[in-house]
Amino acid sequence: MVGARQTPVGAAEPPPPDGVLDVEQVGKTYPGGTRALREVSLRLRAGQVHGLIGANGAGKSTLIRIVAGAERPSSGRLRWHGEPVGWRTPADAQAAGVAVVHQQSPVAPALTVLENVYLGARAGGLWRARERQADFQALCASIDFRIDPYATVATLSIGDRQMVSILRALAQRPRLILLDEPTASITPAERAGVLGAARRLAATGVAVLFVSHFLNEVSEICDVISVLRDGALVDAFDAPDMTHERMVAGIVGDRLRDVEAAKPVHSAGAAVLEARGLRSARMAEPVDLTVRRGEIVGLAGLLGSGRTSLLNAIFGVDRRIAGDVLVDGRRVPCSPAAAVKAGVALVPEDRLAQGLVADWPIWRNISMADLPGLSRRFWLLNPARERALAQRACRELGVVAPSIDTPVKDLSGGNAQKVVFAKWIYKTQHLLLLDEPTAGVDVGGKADLIKLIRALAARGLGVLVVLSEFEELLSVADRVVVMNRGAITGDLAAGQTTVAGLTAAAGGLT
Amino acid sequence: MSAADPIDAAPTVSARIRPVLAGLRPQRAGVVYALILLVAVLVITTAAKGQPPYLSSVNVSNILSQAAPDAILAVFMTIVLISGNFDLSVASVAALAAALALKTIDSIGTAPAVLLALAVGAVAGTINALLVQKIGVNAFIVTLGSMTAVRGVVLIALGGESVTAQSRSLVTLDNTLLRVPPPVALAAGVLLLVLAVLRVRRITDATAPPLDGFFLALVAAAVLTLVVPVAAPAMLTQPLPVWLMLWVTVGVSAALRFLVPGRNLYAVGSNAQAARLSGINVDRYKMAPFVLTGLASAGVGLLYAGRFNSVDPNGLTGTELIVIAAAILGGTSLFGGAGHVGKSVLGTIVLFTLSNGFNVINLGANYQYVVQGVVLVAASAVYTVAARSRRRAGPPADAGRATAPRVPGGEPLSPAVSGS
């Protein structure tokens, strides 16, 4: 337990619980017709930590942008201390007393902690060192955090940088502070500091809106929780009524259930991938790994355990220092082009940066990986064939889009990911490498993708998949290979292990 | 369920017309409007001043033949820019090729001298390519360096003096007049028109890509090819460089649009990482444009050498900036992945029309740089503002989705693992 737990809503607290910000029936429809928010109402009270949870694409970010003044609601309104407000820019919201801490806050790495905290602060143009220093110590004391104000930010850990962002928000003396996934990229030890800071902030009478994917954190520090799904507020409850089941049910709805239940058992065939003593420039240890035809092998590990590096080494993205990759028994030279030729596909982690050309329509993205195969003789493009393939792929994978001429940047995460899959599944013959295929995909899209991965394996592809969510990994994989600090430390049958077991193994506890 | 899905529905005519109309927007066709506006102003001004008509065949041919070498460079500069790189060395390489050709042509003969010049251009391009792609130095810096160093080589080779050749073969190359018989031109126009009509007939065919700006260019080309032989038959006689410009433009833009390497070039320029992970040989597509540009620069250097049959050590200085300005006027992105060679050629013609216009209406030549600079920045501003307002219109990446995902329910999921 982090920090002193405040008594829940309505009970006597040092500052009386009044509404700092009321969100009233706020809806947001984008020009494309996408409804990101539907009549959402919440009340953010002084002295409370208000948790906001929901799947990706549920509308959390849109709501935060509206509260922070970065976007205007299409319907409904905001009330600030009871007064209706119409913020047009983030500066308006900031002037009123709203501060935002983003997942990866833009801090100026070359400046000191102190300079970062007061970056952009207006004080008559003067840098009053002594006052700043005293103010800084007061801020630090208020969240019980110690740091050298003259340390350069570039030398700090990511967790400490996150604390600097929080201090920077505090320096604005906000009445409401928005914490948008503040713990997403930091270590567990540092999380305690951030969570404790959130609690202490609330104790000083600030209203805190805490957005996180980590349900344990939410249940640890929040007084009130609101759940968004598909843009609508589907559940809201106070701390005493909070259970994990209720949170998960609110987030997920009932979509993933049938996927979880129906897990086919199929027998694996001959080895389709053999990595022997494989080591790339980015890998710490040589790795041996075999994937069989029709088998889905999950790679489990913590951030930085070398899972992505292993996929990249197999695909030939990183230079190979040692070892061999055999696909279907044949040695594959080290280059993505050679791997593609050998019947291997990689669905990368960051689909817009690595998997797609954002401005291009769906059909051109799908044909990108097999352009020579889809063309006539003499390199002559055959758009009719490319478009027919895209048409078929969108139908079979259930891509929701106005047409195959829609630019992929306008698609939701799940649909964009289906387009990345569509690039490969019609051409790849042997091995599919998937790096976090469900990241940033909403729950329904996840279910589709998991079904698709299973269907592909059932058709004889070998699949090697990295998934950080161990529940998902166990639900999709036949076998789980555990990585720790660049080495393979375990090889488990998915049916015989649990999330707890995997967590322990990935953490090096085996 | 398929019939209700927009993905499967046959596209409506209006949905298919929209991209064509989008091709008419200022940020897409801006260079065309700029040229029309400029010519209109000059026509009216000369008429008001009682000067001979501005759009005479002689004057238009004059502008075209002046613009042709730079326009050819602009075509290749556009290729480099699409690939996501930058080449400042084109003018220096052209000057070097011109100097070498003129220096050697009398001793070793025309063909060897021309081959030598072209080879030097290709080598210069290859060096740029290797430094940028294999060593990883920024293209701006590499080509700034090669621009300076190659100019130094020119100065050394010429000993600081201009060089002249006895041989007239390069002059012939530049001066040869080619005449296309009007019936041939008319036939070509009819052919283009037929292509355009065939394309329109497939407007609601979902397997055909939607019509876009390229279709407009096709129609414009058809109209011009039909009108010129009738209205201004004298225009069908042009010096070789003008025809070269036309062929290079048509050939390269067709290759970029209809061939696999063209599509891959845009992919590499738009997102090199995604292209690489799709199995495209990114190095090849990043390096080939430099080599081609080096070769083309040498070719343009030969045309330049033929124009005066002499070259001085500082010849062509500043041309690289005109060429880059032309590409930017044509809407080519400096960030790669976007650009059309035809529009870059129009950009070159705009710049040369400006300087020609200043001469014709007797405004001091000193003003022309101010106007060129203003036009360039204004054009970029239009493109930038237009791109930004389009970006704003779309939903952000994390927008919640309103439509429920459609699980491919009872349908068999049939990705053919054995290949399609």
Residue A126's pLDDT is what? Answer: 64
Let me know if domain A269-343+429-510 sits in CATH 3.40.50.300. yes
- Answer whether A456 sits within 8 Å of B415, measured CB to CB: yes
ipTM: 0.86
pLDDT band for position A115 (cuts 50, 70, 90): confident
- Chain A residue numbers with beta carbons less than 8 Å from the beta carbon of B415 are 396, 425-426, 455-456, 459
- A414 touches B: beta carbon within 8 Å: yes
Most confidently predicted of A135-139, A334-338, A444-448, A490-494: A334-338
Least CA distance to A382: which residue of chain B? B258
Q: Span A113-128, mean pLDDT?
A: 72
- A125 touches B: beta carbon within 8 Å: no
- Answer whether B420 sits within 8 Å of A427, measured CB to CB: yes
Å from A509 to nearest chain B CA?
A: 35
- Find residues 155-194 of chain A whose CB sits inside 8 Å of chain B: none
pTM of the model: 0.77
Please tell me which residue, A360 or B365, carries the higher pLDDT value.
A360
Give a three-class secondary structure readout of A120-140. Answer: CCCCCCCCCHHHHHHHHHHHH
- In whole angstroms, what is the distance from residue A357 CA to residue A349 CA? 15
- A396 touches B: beta carbon within 8 Å: yes
Residue A252's pLDDT is what? Answer: 65
Smallest CA-to-CA distance from A374 within A387, A361, A362, A358 is with A387
pLDDT band for position A508 (cuts 50, 70, 90): low
Domain locations in chain B? 13-387
- Chain A residue numbers with beta carbons less than 8 Å from the beta carbon of B400 are 34-37, 57-59, 62, 230-231
Return the number of other C-beta atoms located less than 10 Å from residue A421's C-beta.
27
| A/B interface, count of CB pairs below 8 Å | 208
Residue A105's pLDDT is what? Answer: 65
Give CATH superfamily name and number for A19-253: P-loop containing nucleotide triphosphate hydrolases (3.40.50.300)
Residues 6+ apart with CB under 8 A from A386: A363, A364, A366, A367, A374
H-helix or E-strand spanning residue A267: none
Residue type for A370, please? D
Q: pLDDT tens digits, residue range B56-98?
A: 999 999 999 999 999 999 999 999 999 999 999 999 999 999 9
pLDDT band for position B389 (cuts 50, 70, 90): low
One fold for A19-253 and A269-343+429-510: yes
- In whole angstroms, what is the distance from residue A65 CA to residue A90 CA? 9
> Could you tell me where the DSSP H helices lie in A278-412?
307-315, 336-341, 362-367, 371-374, 383-397
H-helix or E-strand spanning residue A433: strand A431-435
Residue A121's pLDDT is what? Answer: 65
- Answer whether B270 sits within 8 Å of A444, measured CB to CB: no
- The chain-wide mean pLDDT, for chain A, equals 83
The answer on pLDDT for A491 being more than 80 is yes
- Chain A residue numbers with beta carbons less than 8 Å from the beta carbon of B15 are 403
Tokens of B185: 């031109």
Domain locations in chain A? 19-253, 269-343+429-510, 357-427
Q: pLDDT tens digits, residue range A334-370?
A: 999 999 999 999 999 888 889 999 999 999 999 999 9
Residues 6+ apart with CB under 8 A from B404: A230, A444
